Amino acid sequence: MAWKSLIAMVIGSLFLTACSTVSTPATPEPTTPQTSPSTASSTATTPSNTSTTPNETFSLQAQVDAVDAAQGGKLVRLFRDPPTLDPHLTTDNISGALVNEVYSGLVNVDLDLNVVPDLAETIDVSDDGRTYTFHLRSNAKFHDGKTVTAPDVKWSLERVTNPETQAPVAAQYLSDIVGVTEKLNGSASSIEGVRVVDDRTIEITIDAPKSYFLAKLTYPTAFVLDRDNIEGKGNDWLRQPNGTGPFKLAQYDIGEILRLERNDNYYRKLAYLDEIDFILSGGTAMLMYENNEIHLTGVGIGDLDRVLDPSEPLNAQLQTAPSNFSVDYIGLNVEQPPLDDPKLRLALNLAFDREAIATQVLSNLRTPANGIIPMGFPSYNTNLSGYQYDPEMARQLLKESKYGNDLDNLPRITLNISGSFGANVPLDLEVILQAWEQELGIQVDIQQTEWATFLQDLHARRYQMFTIAWGADYPDPENFLDVLFYTGSDNNQTNYSNPEVDALLEQARVEGDQAKRFELYNRIEQMILDEAPWVPLWNSGESYLLLKPEVKGYYLTPMTIPKYRHVYIIN
């Protein structure tokens, strides 16, 4: 059967129940395919600089900071319940989108994707590149007006690295700090490399000079919490967290609504909005948007032709969203049969046509992922040798695998996806699974799990095969290749391990020359692809967002960063 016919068959069989594709929840946008926020102007404005050095030619952040809009108004949007509101436990973009507004850290990422001081006003770095001295803002305060001090920073880092906290990615984001590994494994009671100099000054020493260290501190794992708000209260403190961010939690009724209101004690330029309502009770996004119940929605395949029509009134509210720095993929647990054979894993990658699915199923709202690093991201390699559709080679590889002579007794494969039981399986996955069965004779079962539980099981590495998306936390290739594939990484859910790759990753961590670092990462990425612990699927392509004309300052960003303080509403 030709691919075009196969795709048509799958679409036809699911059309009555699936009007648009459903992506894994890598970003918190309300509809899928993934959409990104819009801008204050009639055309989309996106941060173009993807380095961690200032953009000297244009600064979107400076342009935004110069805006002087009136305070007031409420933004309403659809959302989903976050798995957690504790920044030290956050590992997903749904939680992250909220946590980034309620809390903050020593540094953050601005709209130009530069790492900039946040709670810190200035940062000094020692000549050897190992010791960072952070000088806190004198006006940095918690939501209740209490001043943020260096002991608060130290306590927060001690809390997240306390084994009892069970922070899933503390080792991944903080183990560069001297003493964190010992604290996490219980052999030390405090972090050796964190020292309070005085109330407004804290010193952090890392194990070697690393160009991406400050960027890693922008992740919620390093956010500052209020000790008095937390100690002795179990999880009750999450009902009224005393954060430092531009918004504070005003109401959270699980499955109904989450409301943020402006923090008038914020130490930087105050947010314009009085509040933001995140509707958690569900609903049909497009219908709610057209009924003026929400201010924004992504556009799915089922509505795309209509809103792209210039004669359609909604067309005037359409924004083009930028490509996110993310990659959708199917993870393969290389320790579980039959996925323990690299030739079988490679066969899975070659047995379906990404280009045809992107065009005919996903309406070009996704682009085929050629590898691990997203297009446009630092170190992206245009010469990477990815996976081309080659069913004949796929069959040959399967035959050469240790399972090739006995496919009738091939261990059963289960693909775990997030979603409520009985929810529609994404069309692209349906096509891929049918291709595997048709071209290779491999059948795959699908098991759906609610998002929070899915994340827990993913971190526990319980899955044989899973689909998810990884979005960049900071603009450095270490955030993909080291975080996801280093043998000791907490986020290495595929159990991939290659001593040569590990050695190169360790070398790249301390390489001071950026060109040489990127060359190392290009080599590492190719080595990983050659062993196929992933089935890379999609990067975000051109996608669309509808935004009410009265909403301004809702900026398009390819990563999850704090942004709602820039939003304002005109009457």
Q: What is the pLDDT of residues 269-279, one digit of tens each?
A: 999 999 999 99
What would the mean pLDDT of 405-423 be, rounded to a whole number? 85
Confidence band, pLDDT 50/70/90 cuts, at residue 321: confident
What would the mean pLDDT of 111-140 be, rounded to a whole number? 96
The per-residue pLDDT for 231 is: 95
In tens, the pLDDT along 530-558 reads: 999 999 999 876 678 999 999 999 987 88
Checking DSSP bridges between strand 543-547 and strand 465-471, what pairing results, if any?
unpaired
Helix (H, G, I), strand (E, B) or coil at 264: coil
Report the amino acid identity of residue 487. Answer: T
Cα separation, 301 vs 326, whole angstroms:
20
The per-residue pLDDT for 365 is: 81
Closest CA to 223 of 119, 358, 74, 352: 119
In tens, the pLDDT along 237-254 reads: 999 999 999 999 999 999
Helix (H, G, I), strand (E, B) or coil at 393: helix
The per-residue pLDDT for 543 is: 75
The per-residue pLDDT for 421 is: 53
What would the mean pLDDT of 343-364 be, rounded to a whole number? 95
In tens, the pLDDT along 65-94 reads: 999 999 999 999 999 999 999 999 999 989
Write down the pTM of the prediction: 0.83
**Mean per-residue pLDDT of the chain:** 88
Closest CA to 289 of 3, 30, 17, 27: 30
Q: Tokens 């992506």 label which residue?
A: 23
The per-residue pLDDT for 122 is: 98
Helix (H, G, I), strand (E, B) or coil at 570: coil
Tokens of 467: 């689909």
Domains of the chain: 60-264+545-569 (3.40.190.10), 324-540 (3.10.105.10)
Provide the residue count of the chain: 571
Q: Is it the case that residue 388 has pLDDT exceeding 50?
A: yes
CA distances from 265 to 98, 137, 273, 463 (A): 18, 13, 14, 44
What would the mean pLDDT of 416-420 be, rounded to a whole number? 85
Residues 203-206: contacts with CB under 8 Å, at least 24 apart = 203/131, 203/132, 203/133, 203/134, 204/131, 204/132, 204/134, 204/177, 205/130, 205/131, 205/132, 205/177, 205/178, 206/130, 206/131, 206/132, 206/176, 206/177, 206/178
The answer to whether 505 and 281 have CB atoms below 8 angstroms apart is no
The per-residue pLDDT for 420 is: 62
Tokens of 348: 């899975």
The per-residue pLDDT for 48 is: 35
The alpha carbon torsion through 419, 424, 426, 431 (nearest 10 deg) reads 130
Helix (H, G, I), strand (E, B) or coil at 178: coil
Number of Cα atoms under 13 Å in the Cβ half of residue 40: 18
Confidence band, pLDDT 50/70/90 cuts, at residue 160: very high
The per-residue pLDDT for 57 is: 65
CA distances from 394 to 6, 257, 412, 494 (A): 18, 48, 19, 21
Cα separation, 486 vs 462, whole angstroms:
18
The per-residue pLDDT for 6 is: 36
CA distances from 375 to 322, 372, 393, 531 (A): 11, 9, 27, 21
Q: Is it the case that residue 488 has pLDDT exceeding 70?
A: yes
Which residue intervals of 407-464 are DSSP H helices? 427-435, 451-459
Report the amino acid identity of residue 387. Answer: Y
The per-residue pLDDT for 58 is: 79
The answer to whether 175 and 161 have CB atoms below 8 angstroms apart is no
Report the amino acid identity of residue 13. Answer: S
What would the mean pLDDT of 108-116 be, rounded to a whole number? 93
State the SS3 of 327-369: EEEEEECCCCCCCCCHHHHHHHHHCCCHHHHHHHCCCCCEEEC
Give helix 514-531 / helix 499-510 axis angle, nearest 10°. 160
CA quadruple 457, 459, 460, 465: dihedral positive or negative?
A: positive
Cα separation, 350 vs 392, whole angstroms:
9
Q: Is it the case that residue 152 has pLDDT exceeding 60?
A: yes
Give helix 3-14 / helix 427-435 axis angle, nearest 10°. 130
Question: What separation, in Å, do the N-terminal and C-terminal C-alpha atoms of the chain show?
Answer: 57
In tens, the pLDDT along 6-62 reads: 333 333 333 222 232 223 333 334 332 222 222 222 223 333 333 334 445 679 999
The per-residue pLDDT for 460 is: 93
Residues 228-237: contacts with CB under 8 Å, at least 24 apart = 229/142, 230/159
The answer to whether 60 and 47 have CB atoms below 8 angstroms apart is yes
Report the amino acid identity of residue 200. Answer: R
